Structure 1
Amino acid sequence: MSQAVLSLARILVVVLFVVSGFGKLMNPAGVAAAVAGKGLPYPQVLAYATIAAELGLGLLIALGLYARAAAVLLALFTAATIVVFHNFWTMAGEAARTNQIQALKNLSIIGALLMIAAAGPGRFALNQR
């Protein structure tokens, strides 16, 4: 039972990333514009890196293929989004409140990803590394 729950949890944690990454894949120009809007260099390169992180790493974790490494990388990516995109400490009013919620949500997701990195993907995975 616990192995099945671990595998289900592993999949549920990354649903958000897979769906978001697929949406970004359908509109990479929009992602590049959002990246450029934050003043980051090479917005098109970073847009495709974002898509690869969300969709690629999310799918690896869901499948249980190199899940520990993918979880660490996706946790680092998610931490970076807090600093760059949800930096509520530089905002005021409703924007600050909305982005604080997003940042806290991301912190919770980072915790779940680190649990995957520590516990591994479980028995129901393409590999159990």
Structure 2
Amino acid sequence: MTSLAKAEWGRDGILLVSRVLLMLLFLIFGLTKLTGFDETVTLFAHMDVPFPTLATLIAIAAEVGIGIALVAGLFTRPLAVLMAVYTCATSVLGHHYWSLAGSERFLAEIAFYKNICIVGGLLLLYLTGPGRYSLDQKLRFL
């Protein structure tokens, strides 16, 4: 009972830290896509991603835009689901380990399952909500 009470006491702070950590990867790589837009389009074209320019714009919007919103705890539940769908889609398009061999397969498999684990975290965020330290709470979007 004591450990449960301690967990509830720190819940909102832990949710804030969790939102930041979940989005850290997206923010870093989203900003890299933004500052290296042309290189990202070229990479996506090389990876046979459909409509590479549009895909780059979507990736930047999702990773930077939704990433910032989730860190801030704004529209958390719907954006967590949207980010989970985006992450699943990018896993299939960008980390198709099943069609690779050798070290490329190994690295793509790690990236694929890392993304699937992130989806799990995003679904938990959907269930828990953003916590007290969020714009949703301040604006009463919960």
For the criterion TM > 0.5, the same-fold answer is yes
- Equivalent of 1:87, from 77, 96, 121? 96
* 37-46 vs 107-116, greater mean Cα deviation: 37-46
Structure 1: which 5+ runs fail to align? none
- The alignment-based identity, stated in percent, is 35
| Distance in 2 of aligned mates of 1:8 and 1:95 | 33
Which structure has the larger Rg over C-alpha atoms? 2
Secondary structure at the counterpart of residue 88 of structure 2: helix
Match of 2:117 in 1: 108
Q: Report the aligned-residue RMSD.
A: 1.1
Give every structure 1 segment of 4 or more consecutive aligned residues whose post-TM-superposition deviation is greater than 2 Å: 38-42
Secondary structure at the counterpart of residue 17 of structure 2: helix
Give the TM-score, by structure 2 length.
0.86
Give the TM-score, by structure 1 length.
0.95
Shift of 1:39: 2.4
**Aligned partners of 2:88 and 2:116 also within 8 Å:** yes
Q: Deviations over 1:55-89 (max 9, x none)?
A: 01110100000011111111111111111110101
User: Is residue 37 from structure 1 mapped to residue 46 from structure 2 by the alignment?
Assistant: yes
The AA in structure 2 aligned to 1:127 is D
Structure 2: which 5+ runs fail to align? 1-9
Match of 2:62 in 1: 53
Count of residue pairs the alignment pairs up: 129
Shift of 1:20: 0.9
Shift of 1:42: 2.3
